[in-house]
Structure 1
Amino acid sequence: MQVYLVGGAVRDALLNRKVIERDYVVVGATPQEMLSQGFTQVGKDFPVFLHPKTQEEYALARTERKSGKGYTGFVCDASSSVTLEEDLLRRDLTVNAIAQDNLGNLIDPYGGKRDLDNRLLRHVSEAFSEDPLRVFRVARFATRYAYLGFTIANETMALMQSMAESGELSTLSAERVWQETKRSLLEKTPHVFFTVLNQAHGLNDWFAELESNLDAAIATLKTAVALENAAKENFDKSGQLETKPLETKIPESSSSGTTTLIIRFTALLAHLNEEEAKRLCNRLKVQNQLSEIVILACKFKDFLLNTQNSPADLLALFNGCDAWRRSERFTLLLKAFAPYAHYKDLDWQRQQEHIENALSAANQVNVQDIIATGVKGPAIKEALNQAKLDAIASIGE
């Protein structure tokens, strides 16, 4: 039995990037031998085991043969006779098909180290085309390593285009496509993911709504990243955020990663109308916490952009977003809308302050005070709305 470190850990170490997790391939072993050494089996489709102490993954060397459509249609052979070279051959990219033995020696039968040095993402074999998810994976790797100057080999891009045109991308599950998308959106240059998919003719099945206005969507996504970087730079210099659109308090329940994802995805989709945004989010099965913000931004963007909103317009905005009961969500909406407002050359700091001041004024209205005047029944709602309108109007006086 021989054990090799494989995949991302080898790749990232060669690129001097931090290694997050380590995966191993085991050659010449059977499932029974792994279990007898204390490993726990977790793989359903093929034998993957967790180390009894480190909990790192150890997979038996295997080959795969296409047997149906999509990314699940494979027959797996994980017998003890499968060689390391055969296991590496089934992998997607040469840079992911490098192994390392326990002495630190590289086993690199397909030129992955050379491609790393040349900053090239290239498929290992024609079997690449058997798994449509690889189109999205390559787009994600191109996104992750764009800052290092990586590009996709011409022959690999041609293969990705052929896969997209075959219709196989539509066989993927929404969860797998969204997972690749979400991870890419959190990289340093998230726009690369969509640029690559567009080059690969891979937007139509899952991101059709973006195709007609992709340049604007990408530009707004770049704006989101630029605002984040500016805020971080100001924070590093002063110890506190100086960029008003990004200093709004975010609900404590939202992690920084979730907030970043919401802002960037909203920036990407902000050029769509409400129905287009709903279709795209539903297709990808985007979680409600994110899709709600995106859809609200697309539905109310004209109100959010309009510096001449009447008190009635602002009240309609607050009612439509349920800013009274969902104040934290509304705060997050304003934060997520900032990149689109900047793309539109709006003085968002002033507009955001105006909206927040109007909401604060309206929130000062107490329905109990209205009831105390003797107003009853359905007239209470009408009187409450009028009092809120008057309060909003007063902030401009």
Structure 2
Amino acid sequence: MQIYKVGGAVRDRLLGIPVTDIDWVVVGATTEEMLAKGFRPVGADFPVFLHPKSGEEYALARTERKSGRGYGGFTFHASPEVTLEEDLIRRDLTINAMAEDDQQNLTDPYHGQQDLKDRLLRHVSPAFAEDPLRVLRVARFAARYAGLGFTVAPQTLELMRQLADSGELQALTAERSWKEISRALMEDQPQIFIEVLRECGALKVLMPEVDALFGVPQPEAHHPEIDTGVHTLSVLQQSALHKLPLTVRWACLLHDLGKGLTPTEEWPRHIAHEHTGLKLIKAVNERFKAPKDCQELALLVGQYHTHGHRALELKPSTLLELLQSFDVYRRPQRFEEFIAACEMDARGRKGLEQRSYPQADYLRGAAAAARGVAVQPLLEQGFKGPELGEAIKRERLKAIKAYKEHA
């Protein structure tokens, strides 16, 4: 039995960046031997075990063969005869197909170390094209390592293009796709993820609504970058620079989908794009089964982001309606995330990245004024039921009017 550290742990050590997850591969062992040493089995499809003390994953060396469509369409074969090189060749990228023993001796049959030096994301073998999930994975790695100068090798991009054209991407489950998308959006440069998907033709298959934004003009006075797709990528980039959570990043990606539906004769204006975009945001949410908080914020930001930008001009009654829509009394955090998304939208414009956004504090102040209305005095005055609701609304409107006058 020989044990090797593999994949990301080896790659990141060689890159000199912190190692988070450690995976191990075991050559020359059987399931019975692993169980005898106290390892706990966890893999349903292939033999993966948890170490009895560290809890780290140990997998038996295995080969795989394509047997159906999609990410799950593979037959695995694990046995003591499978070599380390045979195990490594089924991995996605050369930089993930290196192994080292306990003395840090490197096994690198597919030249991953050279590709690390050349800053290339290159596939290990033609079998790369058998797994559609790898299109998303490579785009995610491109987003993660863009800051270090990594790009996708042209030959790998060509295989990704073939996968996008083959119809195999449609075989991916919503859960697997969302796992990759959500991880990619939380990288330092999530806009690169979208760019790579677009470059290989996968974006128009997976998110045609986002792909449709490229080439759609906006008024240059408000959007010096003009192109709506370019603007969307800039907004996403800003959300990462400001270390915002996944909910906000997802909303930033989808906020302008309605502009993709504007008839060309109306360009570059996009009247009511906030409302036309809602059905598209809903469709994307459902396609990937995004978590509820991501879905809700994306729809709210899509509908109300222009309200955010015009906050200082809104009538008190409109401002109150906005606050009610977000349920700022019970869910203050969601309104904070909305404000953040609006600010990223304002900053995601060429040359305006550092511009101040006074609307943010103004909206916070309005929410605080509305929240400051005490219910107890109204109860003491005898209000109850629907009448109480109306009385609270009146007092909140009064509070917002007073706030607006003094702001």
TM-score when normalising by structure 1: 0.86
Q: Structure 1: which amino acid aligns with 2:241?
A: A
Residue of structure 1 in register with 2:402 after alignment: 394
| Aligned with residue 350 of structure 1, among 347, 358, 369 | 358
- Counterpart contact for 2:187–2:240, Cα < 8 Å: no
Q: Structure 2: which amino acid aligns with 1:265?
A: W
1:222 matched to 2:237? The reply is: yes
1:6-62 per-position Cα deviation (integer Å, ceiling 9, x unaligned): 111111111111112221211221111221222222111111122222222221111
> d(CA) in 1 for partners of 2:54 and 2:382?
70
User: SS of the residue aligned with 2:3?
Assistant: strand
Residue of structure 2 in register with 1:260 after alignment: 245
> d(CA) in 2 for partners of 1:142 and 1:111?
19
In the TM superposition, what are the counterparts of 1:47-66 in structure 2 within 5 Å?
47-66=47-66
In the TM superposition, what are the counterparts of 1:30-109 in structure 2 within 5 Å?
30-109=30-109
> d(CA) in 2 for partners of 1:8 and 1:368?
58
- Counterpart contact for 2:188–2:241, Cα < 8 Å: no
User: SS of the residue aligned with 2:245?
Assistant: helix
> d(CA) in 1 for partners of 2:17 and 2:133?
25
- Counterpart contact for 1:262–1:336, Cα < 8 Å: no
366-375 or 11-20: bigger deviation: 366-375
> d(CA) in 2 for partners of 1:318 and 1:42?
47
1:242-275 per-position Cα deviation (integer Å, ceiling 9, x unaligned): xxxxxxxxxxxxxxxxx52223222222223322
1:212-236 per-position Cα deviation (integer Å, ceiling 9, x unaligned): 22322101112223344xxxxxxxx
- Counterpart contact for 1:266–1:337, Cα < 8 Å: no
- Counterpart contact for 1:89–1:97, Cα < 8 Å: yes
Q: Structure 2: which amino acid aligns with 1:360?
A: A
283-292 or 117-126: bigger deviation: 283-292
Residue of structure 1 in register with 2:209 after alignment: 209
Gaps of 5+ in 2: 214-228, 258-276
Query: How far apart are 1:378 and its partner, in Å?
Result: 4.8
| Aligned with residue 318 of structure 2, among 313, 322, 327 | 313
Residue of structure 1 in register with 2:393 after alignment: 385
Alpha-carbon distance change, 45 to 227 in structure 1, aligned in 2, over 3 angstroms: closer
In the TM superposition, what are the counterparts of 1:241-256 in structure 2 within 5 Å?
none
- Counterpart contact for 1:133–1:172, Cα < 8 Å: yes
67-76 or 15-24: bigger deviation: 15-24
User: SS of the residue aligned with 1:18?
Assistant: coil
> d(CA) in 1 for partners of 2:340 and 2:127?
44
User: SS of the residue aligned with 2:314?
Assistant: coil
Residue of structure 2 in register with 1:171 after alignment: 171
> d(CA) in 1 for partners of 2:251 and 2:360?
17
> d(CA) in 1 for partners of 2:98 and 2:397?
66
1:328 matched to 2:333? The reply is: yes
Q: Structure 2: which amino acid aligns with 1:308?
A: E
- Counterpart contact for 2:95–2:112, Cα < 8 Å: yes
- Counterpart contact for 2:317–2:397, Cα < 8 Å: yes
> d(CA) in 1 for partners of 2:26 and 2:173?
30
1:260-316 per-position Cα deviation (integer Å, ceiling 9, x unaligned): 222322222222332222221221111112222222111111221113101111111
Query: How far apart are 1:359 and its partner, in Å?
Result: 2.6
Alpha-carbon distance change, 384 to 105 in structure 1, aligned in 2, over 3 angstroms: closer
Query: How far apart are 1:75 and its partner, in Å?
Result: 1.0
Residue of structure 2 in register with 1:278 after alignment: 282
> d(CA) in 2 for partners of 1:383 and 1:100?
70
- Counterpart contact for 1:341–1:348, Cα < 8 Å: no
> d(CA) in 1 for partners of 2:131 and 2:396?
57
1:304 matched to 2:304? The reply is: no
Q: Structure 2: which amino acid aligns with 1:223?
A: Q
TM-score when normalising by structure 2: 0.84
> d(CA) in 2 for partners of 1:164 and 1:137?
13
Aligned identity (percent) is 46
> d(CA) in 2 for partners of 1:58 and 1:322?
47
- Counterpart contact for 2:186–2:240, Cα < 8 Å: no
Q: Structure 1: which amino acid aligns with 2:247?
A: I
User: SS of the residue aligned with 2:404?
Assistant: coil
RMSD: 2.2
In the TM superposition, what are the counterparts of 1:97-136 in structure 2 within 5 Å?
97-136=97-136
Query: How far apart are 1:321 and its partner, in Å?
Result: 1.5
Gaps of 5+ in 1: 229-258
Residue of structure 2 in register with 1:240 after alignment: none
> d(CA) in 2 for partners of 1:74 and 1:176?
15
> d(CA) in 1 for partners of 2:372 and 2:151?
56
Query: How far apart are 1:182 and its partner, in Å?
Result: 1.4
- Counterpart contact for 1:98–1:112, Cα < 8 Å: yes
